[in-house]
Amino acid sequence: MENVDLTAAEFGETYKNTPGAILLDVRTEEEFEGGHLPGALNINIMGHEFHEQIEELDRETEYFIYCRSGARSSNACKYMQTQGFEKVHNMLGGILAWQGDVE
């Protein structure tokens, strides 16, 4: 099982070099619409359909998951692992770190 916490720089570099990987934003729809990483899929971890939406994803695919600060994405990674996803990565510090607001 591969659950790797990555810094924003490592996250971006590893995602870029992983063919077929999916970028998953687990923030709310409003947060997502306010700005997100290019190509990201939005599945709100706080939404009623979160579990059903995760269930529909391919377990063989590699996922790069982020939120605002890294807490929700960490929880999403842990949940996905319990559902049989083996390649999930969490961006430490979330989109705030990506934008350079946090070290």
pLDDT above 90 for 45: yes
**Adjacency order of strands within the sheet including 87-91:** 2-6, 87-91, 63-66, 22-25, 41-42
pLDDT of residue 52: 97
Active site residues: 67
Q: How many CA atoms lie within 13 Å of 29's alpha carbon, on the beta-carbon side?
A: 4
Q: Average pLDDT for residues 61-87, to the nearest whole number? A: 96
What is the per-residue pLDDT across 14-40, written as a single tens digit (0 to 9) for each? 999 999 999 999 999 999 999 999 999
Contacts of 6 (CB under 8 A, 6+ apart): 14, 89, 90, 91, 92
Give me the domains of the chain, ranges plus CATH numbers.
2-98 (3.40.250.10)
**Where residue 48 falls among pLDDT bands split at 50, 70, 90?**
very high
Q: What is the pLDDT, as a whole number, of residue 68?
A: 96
Average per-residue pLDDT for the chain: 93
Q: Which residue has the tokens 């842990």?
A: 78
The predicted pLDDT at position 1 comes to 53
pTM over 0.85: yes
Tell me if residue 90 falls in helix, strand or coil. Answer: strand
Closest among 44, 21, 17 to 31, alpha carbons compared: 44
